[in-house]
Structure 1
Amino acid sequence: MSELQKSFAKAKLAKLPPEASPIPMHPRDEDDSESTSSTGTVVPSPSRQLFARSRGSNSTETLNWTDFFTQELFLVQNTDSARITHHVYLTPPTSSGPLFVMHHGAGSSGLSFATCAEEIRKILPKAGILSLDARHHGQTLVTTTASDEGPVEFDLSLETLTRDVVFVIHETQSKMGWESLPEIVLVGHSLGGAVITDVAKKGDLGPTLLAYAVLDVVEGSAMDALQSMEKYLATRPSRFPSLSSGIEWHTRSRTIRNRTSARVSVPSLLREEPRPTDPSKPWIWRTNLAETKPFWENWFIGLSKKFLEARGGKLLLLAGTDRLDKELMIGQMQGKYQLQVFPEAGHFIQEDQPVKTAQVLVDFYKRNDRSALVLPPKVADMQASAAMKQGVGSVSGFGGEFHKP
């Protein structure tokens, strides 16, 4: 290199800004694939290593589920033809805290609620979170019984998924040794919204079901979207060279707009083929969404009506008001449910905006919390109190007599 070239290079380098040092904190931006939009120091939980590598906004390093939940459970269910090993992520509630039961959408997993679960616990530490992997998703496995050596039945009907949720909740209660179920808030995203609405409508959880929240799915727009689903599936990658590349695709395509969430949820969506047909891209989808096509209409038909009619508090959280159908518009004007819109989020609301989603869910729980209700006094007690003040000897006809001492 000539002296002239060296001088030119030094001049250029002198104009560059100094290298930024890493920030030793856990980034909590809502859309960290694009920019850092929030500030504030986050105190790590006791289970985290204070000086561990931070969750950098540009990293594609995977995050472990243990950063977000305290334990996982494998719950076995036997039927006449299959053995289902349900997998759930759990952080148990403490004292009188509620249990948020999360159900993900088609093709996703229980870890799609990981970052949201973490934020809920920050706001409401006594709350418990149970986030399940639906059958044929995540680590929930369906195998044939010893008496049936045929192929595993691929059953993702709404009726089957609804029964699975009820089984998982009661089996978790048994596994954890809870004398009774805590107050439950059901939360479902996309397909999960249809499932938890069906659970609420059927009333299988009885009075323990406090309220239910549906994230970014309504009947009208869901049925319309099914028309283009096959086209979407044909355009997305079928294989990835690594987990990091899978995370990168989800954030670059803005399928998931929060890189932290993508780093924990995406690895659960992919699996490595033992003998890959393409050795350069051994990672494939765990759930073949094309195989779920026979169930698409079954999931969403009648959803709006059930959502409005089921007992319990109702919350609809959408990424845009254009998703509302006529029935829900009328219900909203009549004040039948709470509506919250996050226009800055994509379809995966709980992943794109975990902080805001958590705050809305906690506020929703508090508005429906029965223990916070102050009931008016009974008529008999009011009459008795009035009689004492007026010096009346006794009052009858209101559930018994009151005698002045």
Structure 2
Amino acid sequence: MSDLQKSFAKARLAKLPPEPPVFEDVNAIPEHSEHETTEPHEDDDSSVSSTSSTGTIKPSPTQNLFSRPLKGRSGLTSLPWMDFFDRELFLEQNIGDLHIVHHAYISPPTGSGPLFVTHHGAGSSGLSFAACTVEIKKLLPNAGVLSLDARNHGSTTISSISGNDSEIKLDFTLDTLSRDLVFVVKQSRTQMKWETLPDLVLVGHSLGGAVITDVAKKGELGSKLLAYAVLDVVEGSSAMDALQSMETYLSTRPSSFLSLASGIEWHTRSRTIRNTTSARVSVPALLQEEPSSTDSPWKWRTDLAATMPFWENWFLGLSKKFLEARGGKLLLLAGTDRLDKELMIGQMQGKYQLQVFPDAGHFIQEDQPAKTAQVLVDFYKRNDRSALVLPPKVGDILASKAMGKGTGVGAGAGAGAGGPGSPGFGMAWKKPRS
């Protein structure tokens, strides 16, 4: 390249804006290996196509929130859940012949702080909201986050009381998942020994969005439910239409991995998760080791293909329920093309808040945890009833005026000044006609 070409290239590059950091943590300690990758920002609005690209670029040091110096460990090693939540809960429940141990992560609220209850999408786990939880706590220190593992996901387990585990039928109907969520919330109150439930904000991603909307519509959490937020799922283009292409996606993703690190790397290189830190904490909960398999021992914990018969049940009628349920409403999308007709009309009528993150993939809360947290905290503050200052009732105003009128102070103060002691108090004065 000639000197003229070099100077021209430098001039062009100098005009470009500096690369924005993925997060806003100025205390992050950079940690990278030569194999660590991150993804280019591309406008890709398909919730399925977020897993289709394998293009990668080398990350900048600013794109590594929560990193810690880990001697002798690769940048793609897993991060422990303890770095993101205070404790985990195991909540036991017997239903018929089934014994269910619901698993959840929690950072409890303090004082009168709210509790964000998060529900992940199909195939994910409660750690899908780990990075976002840390950001919420930064912005609202007295808030709490309860993030559950749905049945057959993460560390939630189901067994047969009679011992016939092979006869357990998979139940992923929306009613069942909604009951599970309500049970986890109420049992968490018991285990945490709260006198009453804190104010609740339900947050659901993909399948979780359908679940929390169903819970909000049924009203089983009563007046404690302030608001609910749905992340990147609507009944139209982003759910029902996308189901047809999910079979292709499932057939193309790896069935197993050599190690947890390779599983994390696949998620980042394929752009399924566009943030390395999020992948390092959430991906390990998606896989389990099967020692009998020597070639690639790390298998998927949840069989997504087995859930296919329930997909339509999850999303049918979602838009209508979202608009009709009581409480504040937030829809956070990765692209505006996901809006269906019913939601577009509702948005124009101001029935809910809409936020779009075009730089995020389908896993919004993992790709952009700081921005997602900011939106959720602001959303809570707008719906926080304790912050409302209601005007005095008309009856109270009239009563106070009547009391003032009967005192010497009130009469004297009002004389000649239009106060309570003057005949014209409370009425508009009109100039007499000539």
Q: TM-score range by the shorter chain?
A: 0.7 to 0.9
Query: Shift in Å at residue 148 of structure 1?
Result: 5.2
Residues matched between the structures, number: 360
Which residue of structure 1 aligns with residue 244 of structure 2?
A: 227
Which residue of structure 2 aligns with residue 25 of structure 1?
A: 28
Which residue of structure 2 aligns with residue 256 of structure 1?
A: 273
Which residue of structure 2 aligns with residue 241 of structure 1?
A: 258
Which residue of structure 2 aligns with residue 128 of structure 1?
A: 144
The one of 98, 114, 121 equivalent to 1:82 is 98
Structure-2 change in CA distance of 1:83 and 1:62 (3 Å): same
Is the 2:127–2:281 contact (alpha carbons within 8 Å) kept by the matching residues of 1? yes
Superimposed CA distance per residue, residues 8-63 of structure 1 (whole angstroms, 9 cap, x where no aligned partner): xxxxxxxxxxxxxxx983469xx9555448589x8x8xxxxx97439x9x810110
Which residue of structure 2 aligns with residue 289 of structure 1?
A: 304
Query: CA–CA distance in 2 between the matches of 1:142 and 1:308?
Result: 34
Query: CA–CA distance in 2 between the matches of 1:51 and 1:251?
Result: 19
Which residue of structure 1 aligns with residue 179 of structure 2?
A: 163
Partner of 2:359, secondary structure, is: coil
Unaligned ranges ≥5, structure 2: 1-25, 32-36, 40-56, 409-420, 422-434
Partner of 2:162, secondary structure, is: coil
Query: Shift in Å at residue 274 of structure 1?
Result: 2.8
Corresponding letter in the other structure for 2:244: Q
Query: CA–CA distance in 2 between the matches of 1:318 and 1:217?
Result: 7
Query: CA–CA distance in 2 between the matches of 1:163 and 1:268?
Result: 23
Is the 1:81–1:148 contact (alpha carbons within 8 Å) kept by the matching residues of 2? no
Is the 2:29–2:68 contact (alpha carbons within 8 Å) kept by the matching residues of 1? no
Query: Shift in Å at residue 351 of structure 1?
Result: 0.1
Partner of 1:339, secondary structure, is: strand
Which residue of structure 1 aligns with residue 432 of structure 2?
A: none
Query: CA–CA distance in 2 between the matches of 1:322 and 1:51?
Result: 38
The structure with the largest alpha-carbon Rg is 2
Partner of 2:134, secondary structure, is: helix
Superimposed CA distance per residue, residues 334-382 of structure 1 (whole angstroms, 9 cap, x where no aligned partner): 0000000000000000000000000000000000000000011122211
Query: Shift in Å at residue 149 of structure 1?
Result: 5.7
Unaligned ranges ≥5, structure 1: 1-22, 45-49, 394-403
Partner of 1:72, secondary structure, is: strand
Query: Shift in Å at residue 280 of structure 1?
Result: 1.9
Partner of 1:168, secondary structure, is: helix
Structure-2 change in CA distance of 1:237 and 1:98 (3 Å): same
Query: CA–CA distance in 2 between the matches of 1:299 and 1:38?
Result: 38
1:181 aligns with 2:181: no
Is the 1:92–1:129 contact (alpha carbons within 8 Å) kept by the matching residues of 2? yes
Structure 1, 150-159 or 303-312: larger mean CA deviation: 150-159
Corresponding letter in the other structure for 2:382: R
Is the 2:38–2:269 contact (alpha carbons within 8 Å) kept by the matching residues of 1? no
Give the 5 Å matches for 1:298-377: 298-377=313-392
Which residue of structure 1 aligns with residue 127 of structure 2?
A: 111
Corresponding letter in the other structure for 2:349: Q
Which residue of structure 2 aligns with residue 92 of structure 1?
A: 108
Query: CA–CA distance in 2 between the matches of 1:234 and 1:120?
Result: 36
The one of 202, 222, 237 equivalent to 1:206 is 222
Q: Percent identity?
A: 68
RMSD: 2.4
1:141 aligns with 2:144: no
Superimposed CA distance per residue, residues 287-323 of structure 1 (whole angstroms, 9 cap, x where no aligned partner): 0100001100000000000000000000000000000
Query: CA–CA distance in 2 between the matches of 1:36 and 1:111?
Result: 25
TM-score (norm 1): 0.84
Query: CA–CA distance in 2 between the matches of 1:263 and 1:206?
Result: 37
Query: CA–CA distance in 2 between the matches of 1:32 and 1:372?
Result: 41
Query: CA–CA distance in 2 between the matches of 1:237 and 1:392?
Result: 84
Which residue of structure 2 aligns with residue 397 of structure 1?
A: none
Query: CA–CA distance in 1 between the matches of 2:322 and 2:164?
Result: 38
Is the 1:331–1:337 contact (alpha carbons within 8 Å) kept by the matching residues of 2? yes
Corresponding letter in the other structure for 1:369: D
Is the 1:194–1:300 contact (alpha carbons within 8 Å) kept by the matching residues of 2? yes
Structure 1, 81-90 or 383-392: larger mean CA deviation: 383-392
Structure-2 change in CA distance of 1:146 and 1:264 (3 Å): same
